[in-house]
Amino acid sequence: MPTLDFKGPWRSGDVRNALERENLKYNLPTPSGRVIAHPPKGWRWSWDTIQRKIKSGEVIFSEDETRIIRKIYLNTVEGRAAESVWFGKEVGTTRDAAEELKAIFGSAALETPKPVDLVKKVISLSTDEEDLVLDSFAGSAPTAQAVLEMNNETGGNRKFILVECEDYADTLTAERVRRVIQGYAFEGTQREELLRESLTWTKLKKAAQLVAKAESAETFHANLYDNITKTVKDGELVVTGEKKVTEKTEGLGGSFTFVTLGPEMSLDKLLADGLPTFAALAKYVFFTATGRTLTEVPKQNGGALGFLGETDLYRVHLHYKQDRDWLRSNAAALTEPMIGAMVAANARKKKLLVFAAAKFMGQRELSKWAVDFCQLPYAIHRLLGD
């Protein structure tokens, strides 16, 4: 519990230095003339700083003058770590989590899922309402449901990114998110905690107020539930709303995008079997040039101009054939007529990125047309023996 003085509540803090520093190893005289030896690695502050803190009252001597105490006032601390045990009755258990999955899928689906209330507790302690929540081991997606529920309850705008490498990423992880957003078929009783009060002696002496609070919670939520129960268990008063659902659980709303990783995008893999196909090289150079994925190669390999696609800033072309003799010939080099045709097709006047084995003009000339020449990966020329 915090201690109180005229500046407000405070707690004690560490006065030792974490790293060994010789200049912080000095003995400290007390008001009565005694001496306090320095900690093994030294004090947290220099001599001048600690004297200043003693003068301001931030550092005080213990009553027996055997140690010093650092005061950390709570009104100067933006946040602090949780210092409590989270009981299953407050944040749920794996059994509760299994029941949540049964309600959504008809079966538990995973052996040890995480309860949504536990995840909500973690998120509430560690994030603000506009933050992005990352779960690298998403499992059955309780993190997504927790974020959606919290946004629904508080009007927040948290977002989430889930990562799942198992084969159930779509059928379980993403499917749960779809169902809690859109709603899902369910038959049974939904329960939601409306009030929880620990029964301390002080509260029991004001039992009438406690009963009134419970009855007020019941009255306020009466039209939202079929039944409201008031129970006392393990030293706590709990008011719970119960709703019978026989058709469909209402969706939480929101949206998400489900994506999967494509094959590895590396030059070594691309050239493992010799010269790559036009489509394979097109996807590689488009990604390296723009940072975006070329999901579909244009028909007939982009036509005579090898047009691959465009972004907000660029149009990308690839002049290439999976043919050793062709790549060694002058046909593989960019010519002025080809560049002219590419420029003529550039109705929006975007910058052109053109990949090819060679060119018959300098970059200075190409720059006049807003064209950047991009050499094919050198490893391709190695395969040709050039």
C-alpha span between 212 and 214 (Å, rounded): 5
Task: Give the mean model confidence (pLDDT) for residues 113-125.
Answer: 90
The pLDDT of residue 73 is: 82
Structure confidence at residue 344 as a pLDDT band (50, 70, 90): very high
Higher local confidence (pLDDT), 88 or 151 = 151
Q: Are 165 and 153 contacting, i.e. CB atoms less than 8 angstroms apart?
A: no
C-alpha span between 265 and 7 (Å, rounded): 61
DSSP state at residue 137: S
The pLDDT of residue 207 is: 87
Res 111 pLDDT > 80: no
pLDDT in tens, 364-378: 899 999 999 999 988
Pairing relationship of beta strands 248-250 and 183-185 according to DSSP bridges: antiparallel
- The residues near 252 (Cβ < 8 Å, ≥ 6 apart) are 145, 148, 149, 151, 152, 180, 181
C-alpha span between 94 and 308 (Å, rounded): 50
Residue 347 structure tokens: 């109705």
The pLDDT of residue 81 is: 58
The pLDDT of residue 320 is: 94
User: For a pLDDT cut of 90, what percent of the chain falls above it?
Assistant: 46
C-alpha span between 144 and 173 (Å, rounded): 9
The pLDDT of residue 193 is: 84
Task: Give the mean model confidence (pLDDT) for residues 102-129.
Answer: 83
Task: Give the mean model confidence (pLDDT) for residues 339-368.
Answer: 92
- The residue ranges of every structural domain in the chain are 3-76, 88-187, 191-245, 267-384
pLDDT in tens, 242-282: 888 777 788 999 999 998 887 777 788 888 888 999 999 99
Pick from 107-111, 163-167, 301-305 the range whose average pLDDT is largest.
Answer: 163-167
What is the secondary structure of 26-76 as a DSSP string?
--EE-TTS-EEPPPTT-BSS-HHHHHHHHHHTSEEE-TTSSSEEEEEEGGG
Quote the pTM value.
0.49
pLDDT in tens, 31-77: 999 999 999 889 999 999 999 999 988 999 998 999 999 998 877 76
